[in-house]
Amino acid sequence: MSLKSTFADVIERYSQAQKRLVLGLSGGLDSRVMLELMAEYCHNRQLECLAIHVHHGLSANADQWAMQCQHWCDSLGVPLVIERVQLDSKGRSLEESAREARYQAIARHLNDDDLLLTGQHCDDQLETFLLALKRGSGPKGLSAMAHAMPFASSLIVRPLLTSTRQQIEEYARQHQLSWVEDESNLDQRFDRNFIRHTISPPLIERWPQIYQSVQRTAELCAEQEALLDELLADKFTSVHCSDGSLDITKLATYSDAVRSRLIRMWLAGQDVRMPSREQLKLIWPQVACAQQDANPQLVIIDGQVRRYAGRLYLVKQWQSLANWKQAIELEQTCQLPDSLGSLSLRSAANGQLSKQALSNGKLEVIFEPQGLTAHPVGRGHSRKLKKLFQEYDIPSWLRRRTPILICDQQVVAVGDLFIDRHFAGQDCELIWDKPLLFM
């Protein structure tokens, strides 16, 4: 089957009527050929398309690559967005940091049900499989890359996953296409490049059918993973709490193998990178089963696994909000930082706040409780917010992520926990539209 037919067959398998095709365009051989295929496909079918080039700034040639991508897109009539990103490694490899920044940049330009096209092919699949094997991955890692997978509100599709690098290069030469060569692809200090240039060639020469064998194995592993999740779905529901935590008492009723899998399923749904096998083994004995008076935590790549009130929580790495503040007025909504939702002050016939009391000073929203005191309605006296958070059973890691409404430095209300008695009334209410973590 020709490359053009392969591309069309895969797109038609996953595309919804009149939805956009969006291409991650690096300018390398694979994405350059994909640009040509996408432009022709969309032109023939009157479909909208978009190309996105992410400028990482890692190469002295990065500006030239962006200009070249612009030239190709202009000649084909394909709109192009150039996104410039800065990498933040946070203990990750350069390759991993670049990939994460790239996908975050691309996600900003995706609409619901777009197809995001990426140029991976048979040789990439072989490399990914061998990397997983080198790391000692289980079936999940050996599933390698799927033809399609959800991403944001869209779908990542790899139309050329069953085509070889040689077939793609032959197409490019037949159509006299030029492309950019990333010099870093020759650096064999990177594991993927070492596999590409040193390991894969003799394997392919000895066993030409290894492409198909790897693809079949990857698909079988993916099927087994999906089946396991399906069979454990009811058990997972039984231990998964409404706030996103896991019930330790219920987890304890299952075997080690089932419990380990349920914890893995939990982490897989948290949008974090999966911890190592060694770290996963420590979650149950060191966090869940630590002494009752302990405050156990296990640091993983993207945060911490912690225990509180008989549950396991994933605490992600958050930005400090100690210096964040924003003014707010009646009938106004304040958007909170770091995905913490919004806070609104609204008139209400059966509210708990007094408009009159609120009108006596400047209203602001902050997150830093240090040094503040409050006198909750129904309490006999005022207390430090630190003590009140303890009494209201708020986990320690959420105490500086709970919005505090103040009026001229006096506490009016803390999230949806309590109202200070000096601001109590009946004609106004504070509404916190908060994320799942606080439910």
Q: Enumerate the known binding-site residues.
A: 26-31
Query: Which contiguous run of DSSP H or E holds residue 332?
Result: strand 332-335
Please report the beta strands in 75-169, taking only residues with DSSP state E, as ranges in sequence order: 80-84, 115-117, 148-151, 154-157
Q: Would you give the end-to-end CA distance of the chain in angstroms?
A: 52
User: How far apart are the C-alpha atoms of 2 and 37, rounded to whole Å?
Assistant: 11
Assess contact for 79 and 51: CB atoms under 8 A.
yes
1 burial class (0-12, 13-18, 19+ CB within 10 angstroms)? exposed
Report how many helices (DSSP H) and strands (DSSP E) the chain contains, helices first. Answer: 16, 20
Going by their DSSP bridges, the two strands 21-24 and 115-117 should be labelled as parallel
- Cα separation values, 213 from 1, 90, 162, 219, Å: 19, 36, 12, 10
Assess contact for 409 and 392: CB atoms under 8 A.
no
Task: Return the closest-CA partner of residue 184 out of 392, 28, 312.
Answer: 28
- Cα separation values, 429 from 119, 148, 359, 416, Å: 52, 46, 14, 10
Q: Secondary structure of 295-306 in the HEC alphabet?
A: CCEEEECCEEEE
User: How far apart are the C-alpha atoms of 220 and 100, rounded to whole Å?
Assistant: 27
Residue list for the binding site for ATP: 26-31
Assess contact for 59 and 65: CB atoms under 8 A.
yes
